């Protein structure tokens, strides 16, 4: 298999190979996005049947699922157009493909900059939401409860600011006269939770919100710092991902623009040999300018 075309052609086959592989990869990611979005919508359907008090949270989950499905559909259309345009060497659709790539690159950079600037505020908003709503509605949803239990057990912490946050939960509040969990904290706050999770006494934190002498049974520090650390790690991962995506998009833009130049040269050669009208030189100049700017 030759990696270069012969003297009668300018288009590099290996360039088309790389672009084709890129579009196939985008197609696979788009399918994955649709599957992931469909799963989120399926999860939302299950939650709707139980009607929890955290409906706004799962509405957001459903929105995310819809976004993923939409992105997946657009990704399939985008990759199919890119693949067909590359294989068929269609200048019109390659230019559309190039425009979309540039648009995605710009949006990627804007999202990255905005997220980095406001990452601190986003983290604070998440922490405040967890303290004011999630702690309050801890028992209203099993998924949320499991998430909190994992966080508190894994990092040996309790609540957001501290263990006293659980006094705002109607089941754990000392002012409750009907709850058997009054003046307690969730079992995941107990020190034995990780080592003896299956056999731990669910009343291991009895009266800890009322009697400080019993605090030795539980983890008293809040999970705020752990949440911040996780958020900072997420920012680093997202930043690295955005940089990687930007590099890939930039390289793809250069390859597409170079392919356009080669296609125009090849068509110009064909027209000259067959005494057809030559392609517009102004368009070719624009292609070269875009290629130089891309580099």
List Cβ neighbours of 111 (8 Å cut-off, separation of 6 or more): 242
Question: Which position has the higher pLDDT, 231 or 185?
Answer: 185
Q: How far apart are CA 37 and CA 54, in angstroms?
A: 20
Backbone angles phi, psi at 197, to 5 degrees: -60, -40
Share of the chain above pLDDT 90, in %: 14
Quick one: how far is CA 183 from the chain centroid? Answer: 39
Question: Which position has the higher pLDDT, 57 or 63?
Answer: 63
* pLDDT score of 46: 52
pTM passes above 0.75 = no
Question: Which position has the higher pLDDT, 18 or 135?
Answer: 18
Nearest one of 252, 243, 247 to 20, comparing CA atoms: 252
* pLDDT score of 44: 59
Q: Name the range with the highest mean pLDDT among 57-66, 122-131, 164-173.
A: 164-173
- pLDDT band (50, 70, 90) for residue 61: very low
* pLDDT score of 16: 87
Q: How far apart are CA 234 and CA 229, in angstroms?
A: 9
Q: Is 277 helix (H, G, I), strand (E, B) or coil?
A: coil
* pLDDT score of 274: 65
- pLDDT band (50, 70, 90) for residue 51: very low
In this structure, are residues 122 and 116 in contact, taking their beta carbons and an 8 Å threshold?
A: no
Q: Which pair of tokens denotes residue 4?
A: 């270069």
* pLDDT score of 102: 92
* pLDDT score of 263: 86
- pLDDT band (50, 70, 90) for residue 67: confident
Question: Does residue 54 register a pLDDT over 70?
Answer: no
- pLDDT band (50, 70, 90) for residue 52: very low
222 φψ region: left (φ > 0), alpha (ψ -120 to 50), beta (else): beta
Q: Which pair of tokens denotes residue 188?
A: 């995941």
196-239 pLDDT, tens digit each: 777 778 888 888 988 888 888 899 999 888 888 888 888 788 88
Question: Which alpha helices (DSSP H) does 155-223 contain, by range?
Answer: none
Q: Residue range 139-163: average pLDDT? A: 86
Helix, strand and coil in the chain, % to nearest 5: 70, 0, 25
In this structure, are residues 118 and 215 in contact, taking their beta carbons and an 8 Å threshold?
A: no
122-133 pLDDT, tens digit each: 777 777 777 677
């Amino acid at each position: 298999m030759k990696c270069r075309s012969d003297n009668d052609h300018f288009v590099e086959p290996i360039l088309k190979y790389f672009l084709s592989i890129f579009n196939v990869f985008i197609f696979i990611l788009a399918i994955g996005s649709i599957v992931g979005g469909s799963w989120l919508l399926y999860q939302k359907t299950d939650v709707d049947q139980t009607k929890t008090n955290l409906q706004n949270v799962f509405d957001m989950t459903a929105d995310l699922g819809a976004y993923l499905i939409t992105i997946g559909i657009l990704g399939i259309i985008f990759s199919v157009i890119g693949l067909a345009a590359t294989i068929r060497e269609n200048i019109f659709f390659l230019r559309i493909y190039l425009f979309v790539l540039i648009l995605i690159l710009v949006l990627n950079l804007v999202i990255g900059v905005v997220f980095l600037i406001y990452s601190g505020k986003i983290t604070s908003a998440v922490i405040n939401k967890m303290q004011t709503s999630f702690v309050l509605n801890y028992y209203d949803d099993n998924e949320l409860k499991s998430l909190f239990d994992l966080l508190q057990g894994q990092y040996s912490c309790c609540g957001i600011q501290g263990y006293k946050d659980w006094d705002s939960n109607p089941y754990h509040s000392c002012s409750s006269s009907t709850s058997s969990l009054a003046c307690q904290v969730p079992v995941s706050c107990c020190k034995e939770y990780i080592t003896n999770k299956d056999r731990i006494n669910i009343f291991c934190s009895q009266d800890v919100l009322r009697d400080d002498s019993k605090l030795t049974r539980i983890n008293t520090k809040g999970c705020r710092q752990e949440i911040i650390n996780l958020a900072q790690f997420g920012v680093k991962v997202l930043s690295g991902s955005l940089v990687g995506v930007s590099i890939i998009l930039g390289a793809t833009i250069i390859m597409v623009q170079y392919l356009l130049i080669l296609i125009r040269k090849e068509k110009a050669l064909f027209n000259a040999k067959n005494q057809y009208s030559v392609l517009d030189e102004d368009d070719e100049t624009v292609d070269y300018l875009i290629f130089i700017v891309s580099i």
